[in-house]
Chain A
C-alpha cells in the first residue's frame, strides 16, 4: 500500500465519518416530531416506493423536466458502480479492478460515458431554466431566497464538474494505454473521441489521470457532505418518504383520539377515559391540540421537510397561490425545515441563522416568544388561504403531504387560541345551534321535500 492509498483511505474515512455525523443530527431533528405508527401494509408501501420514488412516476406529469431529471437520476445510479470501483482501486492501489467482468464491463463503461454526457447536457439545461429563462416555479416566490437559489446552482455545477473529471480521467487513461501499448478494459465512446485532447506527454497525461481521479473522488465525498445542507438531500430521503407516505384516500384527515375520549366522556358519564401517556419522569404527557411548533408535528411531517427538493410543483398548482394569495405550499415545507434546524441541530454547511435574512426577503417580524413555526415562520393568513384541495399533494413527486401540516397549524389556531376568522366562528356557532353551517332552523331541514312530483307510470 503506497502513500497515495493511505491518503485516500484517510480522506474517505473523514468524508464518510462527517456524513454519518450529519445524518445523526438530521435524524435527531426528525425525531423531535410526535410518534406516529406507519408500519402497516409493508408490501403496498414497497410497491409505492418502487413506482413513485424508484420509478419516478409522478415526475412524468411534466415531460421535459422529467426526461432531463431521468438522465441525471439514472446517471447517478449507474455511475455509482464506477464510484465503487474507484473506491476499491483507491484502497488497494489496483487499476480498473472490475475489468475482470469483461464484456459486461465494456457495456457498463459504455453506458456510463453516454450517461455522463447526458448528465452534463441535462444539468446545463437545468442551469439555463433556472438562470436564463427563469421558469417561474423555480425562480419566483418569497421562499426562494438567496440560499435556495444558490444551493440549486451549486449542485448543478458540482455535477457537471464531477462528470468532466470522470471524462478527464478516462481520456488520460486511454491515451496512456495507447502510448504504452497496453489494453484498457472497457468501452469509452465519448472519451475515445477526445483521445488527443491532452496531447501525448506521458507525464502530463499521468498527472491529468490522477487529478481527474482525485477530483472525482473528493468531489463525491464533498458532494455527499453537502447533501444534508441542501435540497439535494432528496436523493436519499425520497425513498423513505414515499415508503411512509399516506396510503389512505387524500380526503381522510387525521383524527385526534384524545378529543374522541373527551367527547365520549361528555356524552356518557360512564365512559372510561384511558389513562394519559406518561413521560420518563412519570408525569402525564400534555399534548397540544394541533401544531404550534415543529415538535407538535409528526416525524413524518418533519421527514417531508427534509425530502423537499424545492421544485415548486406544489405551489405552481395551488389555487390560492395562482390567484395571488400569500399561501405557498413549498414555503410551508421549507419553513418547517428551517425552523427545525433553528430549534434543533443544523448540518455542517447550512445554518438557517446565517441565511434566513438574506436577499432582502426577511421573514415576518415577531416578538421573541412568538418565534415558533406558527407566526414566526408561517402566518395565519397563509394558513387560512388553503382550500385543502390536495393539488399540492397530488403534484409532489416525492409524496410530501403539505395539507396535513397546514391542517395541524390551523387546528392549533382554532383549538388552542380560538383564533379563527370571525366568519368561521359564526359557522361553528351555526353548526352547534342548528346542525348546519348556515343560520337555518333545523326544523326546516326537510322542507325541500314539499310539493315534489314525478311522472306517474302507466
Chain B
C-alpha cells in the first residue's frame, strides 16, 4: 500500500513567497479546521482533493488567526476589528487575491466584512469551489462512488444560505455522488439553524424547552427515515451540533455526519 501513496507537504504562503511563487488560491483553514479533531478530518479531505486535482494552493499555517467572527456576533466589535485588521495586514502582505475556505463563518466575514477594513479578495466557499471542480470535470466520481443510492440529507448553514444565498452549490456537489438526496421540510431559505451561530457555539444556551440542535436533529432523522443515512453539512459548527444531536438521540451507529468535502474525497478514493 505504502508505495501507492505519497506524503503531502502542505505549502504555506511563506514557502511560496520564499520560492518567488504565487498560489492560485489561499486555503483559509479556520480555527475549527485547525484545532477541532473532527473538523481537522474535513481540512485534510479538502487538501487531498486539492492535491488530487493539482490546484496550486497554499495555507497561512501558523500565521493564520481567528477572522473575528465569533467576537463580532457576540457584540465585541473592538476585538473583531483587531483580528480583522491584523489578518488583512498579513493577507495583503502576501498579495492574496483569491481565498477558499471550508467555514461559512470565515467565508462570510472575509467576504462581507473585511472590504470595509481594507481587505478586498475574491472569497469562495468550498462548496462553490467543489462544484466548480466537478463542473470542470476535474473531480469525476466514477459511477457515484461508495455513496451511490445512499440516503443523504443536506443541512443548510445559515451563514452560507440565508446570509449569502448559497443553496445550490452544496446540493450540486452531493448530486455528483448519485445518492438518494432527501430534503428536510425546513431547507434552503427556510432552513432551521443548528443552534451554534451568533457565538452560541461558545456558550450555554438560554433556558428553554429544548436545545436547537435537538430540534434540528429530530427533523433530520425523521427525513432520513429508518435505517442508515447521512447528514451532510458544509460548516464546522453545524457539524458539531448535528453530531451532538445524533449522539443525544443514540443514533450515531445509524446516522453519520459528513462534510461535503469528506464525501467527495471518500467517493474519489482519496482517503484510503
A contact residues vs B (CB 8 Å cutoff): 61, 248-253, 255-256, 259-260, 262-264, 267, 289-290, 317, 319-320, 322-327, 381, 384-391, 393-394, 407, 410-415, 420-421, 423-424, 426-428, 431-432, 435-438, 440, 442-449, 451-456
| A435-B162 CB under 8 A given contacts A448-B29, A456-B6 | no
- Can you list the 10 inter-chain pairs with the closest CB atoms, starting with the nearest? A251-B163, A324-B209, A388-B198, A435-B65, A324-B208, A410-B75, A389-B193, A252-B112, A414-B75, A389-B158
Contact between chains at A253 and B48 (CB < 8 Å): no
Contact between chains at A250 and B75 (CB < 8 Å): no
* Cβ < 8 Å to A, chain B residues 192-211: 192-193, 195-211
A424 to B272 CA separation, bound complex (whole angstroms): 39
Cβ contacts under 8 Å, A456 to chain B? 3-6
A20 to B36 CA separation, bound complex (whole angstroms): 60
Chain A nearest CB from B248 CB (Å) reads 14
Tally of A-B residue pairs with Cβ under 8 A?
245
A428 to B71 CA separation, bound complex (whole angstroms): 6
Cβ contacts under 8 Å, B206 to chain A? 320, 325-327, 381, 384-385
Contact between chains at B199 and A452 (CB < 8 Å): no
* Cβ < 8 Å to A, chain B residues 202-241: 202-212, 214-216
Extra contacts, 14 of them, besides A317-B190, A391-B190 (Cβ < 8 A), are A249-B163, A255-B117, A262-B78, A267-B85, A319-B216, A323-B195, A324-B208, A386-B198, A437-B31, A437-B202, A445-B62, A446-B12, A448-B33, A456-B5
A155 to B62 CA separation, bound complex (whole angstroms): 62
A442 to B34 CA separation, bound complex (whole angstroms): 10
Chain A nearest CB from B198 CB (Å) reads 3
Some 30 contacts from A to B, beta carbons below 8 A apart, are: A251-B159, A251-B163, A255-B77, A263-B82, A319-B215, A323-B214, A327-B206, A385-B206, A387-B196, A389-B158, A394-B190, A414-B76, A423-B204, A427-B199, A427-B202, A428-B79, A431-B70, A432-B79, A437-B66, A437-B202, A445-B29, A445-B34, A447-B34, A449-B8, A449-B47, A453-B6, A453-B7, A454-B52, A455-B52, A455-B272
A413 to B74 CA separation, bound complex (whole angstroms): 10
A385 to B192 CA separation, bound complex (whole angstroms): 15
A285 to B189 CA separation, bound complex (whole angstroms): 41
Chain A nearest CB from B124 CB (Å) reads 14
Contact between chains at A319 and B79 (CB < 8 Å): no
Cβ contacts under 8 Å, A442 to chain B? 62, 65
Of the residues B75, B79, B111, contact of A407 by C-beta under 8 Å: B75
Contact between chains at B190 and A248 (CB < 8 Å): no
Contact between chains at B116 and A255 (CB < 8 Å): yes
Give the residue name and chain of the A residue nearest to B72 (CB).
Answer: A253
Cβ contacts under 8 Å, B244 to chain A? none
Give the residue name and chain of the B residue nearest to A317 (CB).
Answer: B190
A390 to B8 CA separation, bound complex (whole angstroms): 40
Give the residue name and chain of the B residue nearest to A325 (CB).
Answer: B208
A304 to B70 CA separation, bound complex (whole angstroms): 26
Cβ contacts under 8 Å, A251 to chain B? 108, 112, 159, 162-164
Cβ contacts under 8 Å, A421 to chain B? 203-204
A427 to B68 CA separation, bound complex (whole angstroms): 11
Chain B nearest CB from A408 CB (Å) reads 9
| A264-B116 CB under 8 A given contacts A251-B163, A421-B203 | no
| A449-B163 CB under 8 A given contacts A386-B198, A436-B34, A455-B5 | no
A265 to B199 CA separation, bound complex (whole angstroms): 28
Contact between chains at B31 and A325 (CB < 8 Å): no
Instruction: Digitize B146-190: 1 where CB-to-A-CB distance is under 8 Å, 0 elsewhere.
Output: 000000000000110011110000000000000000000000011
Chain B nearest CB from A302 CB (Å) reads 20
Contact between chains at B208 and A410 (CB < 8 Å): no
Chain A nearest CB from B88 CB (Å) reads 11
